[in-house]
Amino acid sequence: MNRNTNLNVMDEMYYSDLWIKLCKRSKDIILTKDEIEKYNAEGIKKGYIYDIFNEPNEIAKDYVVTMINCVSKIPEGDRYKNGSKVNKEYYDKLIDNMNLKEIKDKISIEYGLVVKRGSIRTFPTSDRVFKGEKEYDLDRFMESAIYAAEPCIIYAFSKDEKWCFCKTYNYSGWIKKENIALGSKKEIEEYCKCKDFIVVTGKKINLVYNPFIEALRNLDIDMGVKLPIETNLSKEELIYDMYSEGNYVVKYPLRESNGELKFTNILIPYNEDVHRGYLKCNRSNILKQIFKFQGERYGWGGEFNGRDCSSLIIDTFRSFGIHFPRNSGDQLKKSIGKTLLVHKEMTYHERMKILDSLKPGSLIFLNGHVAMFIGNYKNSHYIIHDVIGVFINKKDYEKKNKGQKEQVNKEKIYLGIKGVTVSELKEIYTSSGESYIEEIIGIKDIFN
């Protein structure tokens, strides 16, 4: 059955089962644990992934100021806050709050561990700022999300003492101070490099309710978060006055009132969507993981507790312990795997031949966008992606929907998807009117 406006996408195509069934040898291991560790090490060596535990203890002021200024850039075009255009005075206040003048000539770096999901921001502010006065869902000060139990280096603090400028394994920016607990490098590194752990394999899980600690109530933990298992406890021992039998007992970071790190034990039921150790890296598991996000609302930079196109890819592969750069351009040019650049001069036929050779799990890149190839169905190529919207042919749409009207652009109909969806490649177009196939700039197979 197909009652969707998304052309040639049947209801069963929104589930991983169909694509796994169509995928040959879907359970073959395509990357071993050792190969994944080698890939991650290569990423660190090439500089698109950071080993934050390998930073010098002291950093020069010039290095930090340059790093901050690379992120905290005043945009060239107009920006709007609450429907009103922001002015120079507004930006001057943001720059003043960055507190660059107070950074010492030599900085002793500090380490932190994230205690709950938060945002990495362009400037030390929660203000939502947009390109258009009526926009609401593309906050241009939103850089990325950061998840619970992620380590970071702290380089500087804002003037209002509410923000800190941090570096994570794949991004840098301003993070709310309340989301980070300060600890020693040693204890945080040992926590993050533990050998016995669970990884969240669901889109997210919700912690067991804790009546004693407010910070642990109604707390969502996202896919890919790794939590060390506490093995030195008996099954009869109570955790916050709750029997631990049938649960994983894991260590979780808390921020004390003075901002320092404290670990506590929490319970994760065995039947939650978690896995002891990373998942086996095969195409079946990759498809299962990415389809758990199907239907989730698009969130630029991770806003709305969601994802954008590139973080959809990142979070899918975190379940396997694979580290990706943050942005789609770097994912194409710098991340692991074999890259095939698709030149503008390539004909449609040449592009189709490349698509015919792809296996599920391969990544397809357009300018500013990335999607995952999920398979062929009746000689058509399908992708899953997190997308704001696509264009389709007006004639096909009106034929299918009996004259229903939508926004028209050069005989195309705009579908404001704003979420994770499945699309048939040949049926969708970009805002410039070009087909997705003609706009492909690269293919990435991380398994070669």
Mean pLDDT of 417-444: 94
SS3 325: coil
Residue 269 sits in the same domain as residue 292 = no
The verdict on residue 210 lying in a domain is yes
Q: Is the pLDDT of residue 1 over 50?
A: no
Mean pLDDT of 35-63: 93
Mean pLDDT of 323-351: 87
Q: Is the pLDDT of residue 5 over 80?
A: no
Bridge-partner residues for 149, per DSSP?
none
pLDDT class for 400, splitting at 50, 70, 90? low
Residue 288 sits in the same domain as residue 432 = yes
Residue 356 sits in the same domain as residue 303 = yes
The encoded tokens of residue 56 equal: 């010098």
Which pLDDT score is estimated for 218?
86
Sorted by sequence, the CB contacts under 8 Å of residue 40 that are 6+ apart come out as 49, 321, 322, 323, 336
What torsion, rounded to 10 degrees, do the Cα atoms 82, 92, 259, 102 define? 180
Q: pLDDT digits over 20-32, tens only?
A: 999 999 999 999 9
Question: At 69, which CATH number?
Answer: 2.30.30.40
Question: At 252, which CATH number?
Answer: 2.30.30
Sheet of 197-200: strands edge to edge? 226-228, 197-200, 274-276
The verdict on residue 270 lying in a domain is yes
Q: Is the pLDDT of residue 321 over 80?
A: yes
Question: At 434, which CATH number?
Answer: 3.90.1720.10
Print the domain residue range for 255: 197-276
Q: Is the pLDDT of residue 433 over 90?
A: no
Which pLDDT score is estimated for 375?
97
Number of domains in the chain: 3
Q: Is the pLDDT of residue 420 over 70?
A: yes
C-alpha–C-alpha distance, residues 417 and 148, integer Å: 29
Residue 74 sits in the same domain as residue 167 = yes
- For the chain, give the number of residues: 448
DSSP codes of every residue in 188-240: HHHHHT-SSEEEE-SSEEEPPP-SS-GGGSS-EEETT-EEEB--SS-TT-BSS
Mean pLDDT of 47-75: 95
Q: Is the pLDDT of residue 408 over 90?
A: no
Q: Is the pLDDT of residue 406 over 50?
A: no
Mean pLDDT of 113-142: 96
Q: pLDDT digits over 182-201, tens only?
A: 999 999 999 999 999 999 99
Handedness of CA 63, 335, 224, 230 (dihedral sign): negative
Mean residue pLDDT of the chain comes to 92
Residue 263 sits in the same domain as residue 301 = no
C-alpha–C-alpha distance, residues 351 and 343, integer Å: 10
Residue 268 sits in the same domain as residue 299 = no
Residue 299 sits in the same domain as residue 401 = yes
Residue 70 sits in the same domain as residue 169 = yes
* Contact criterion met (CB below 8 Å) for 322 and 348: no
* Contact criterion met (CB below 8 Å) for 274 and 202: yes
Q: Is the pLDDT of residue 145 over 50?
A: yes
Q: Of 156, 187, 218, which closes a domain?
A: 187
The verdict on residue 391 lying in a domain is yes
The verdict on residue 41 lying in a domain is no
* Contact criterion met (CB below 8 Å) for 323 and 70: no
Pairing of strands 106-108, 58-60: antiparallel
Residue 371 sits in the same domain as residue 399 = yes
Q: Of 130, 165, 187, which closes a domain?
A: 187
Minimal CA–CA distance to 51: which of 224, 192, 221? 192
Which pLDDT score is estimated for 340?
86
Mean pLDDT of 408-415: 72
Q: Of 141, 160, 187, which closes a domain?
A: 187
Which pLDDT score is estimated for 237?
83
The helix/strand count (H/E) of the chain reads as: 11, 26
pTM of the predicted model as reported, rounded to 2 decimal places: 0.93
The verdict on residue 39 lying in a domain is no
The verdict on residue 40 lying in a domain is no
C-alpha–C-alpha distance, residues 371 and 365, integer Å: 7
Handedness of CA 290, 340, 309, 324 (dihedral sign): positive
Which pLDDT score is estimated for 399?
53
Mean pLDDT of 266-271: 96
Residue 88 sits in the same domain as residue 201 = no
Between 326 and 153, where is the model more confident?
153
Residue 53 sits in the same domain as residue 27 = no
Q: pLDDT digits over 204-238, tens only?
A: 999 989 999 999 998 999 999 999 999 888 777 89
12-26, 385-399, 422-436: range with highest mean pLDDT: 12-26
Q: Is the pLDDT of residue 409 over 70?
A: no
Mean pLDDT of 352-377: 96
Residue 117 sits in the same domain as residue 243 = no
Mean pLDDT of 353-377: 96
C-alpha–C-alpha distance, residues 330 and 444, integer Å: 11
The verdict on residue 161 lying in a domain is yes
Q: Is the pLDDT of residue 401 over 70?
A: no
* Contact criterion met (CB below 8 Å) for 301 and 309: no
The verdict on residue 57 lying in a domain is yes
Mean pLDDT of 327-352: 86
Span of 69-78, 229-238, 370-379 with lowest mean pLDDT: 229-238
Mean pLDDT of 346-375: 95
3-state helix vs strand vs coil in the chain, percent to 5? 25, 30, 45
What torsion, rounded to 10 degrees, do the Cα atoms 301, 303, 308, 313 define? 90
Q: For the chain, how big is the Rg over CA atoms in Å?
A: 23
* Contact criterion met (CB below 8 Å) for 249 and 183: no
pLDDT class for 139, splitting at 50, 70, 90? very high
The DSSP element (H or E) to which 442 belongs, if any, is strand 442-445
Mean pLDDT of 273-286: 98
The encoded tokens of residue 222 equal: 């996202």
* Contact criterion met (CB below 8 Å) for 444 and 339: yes
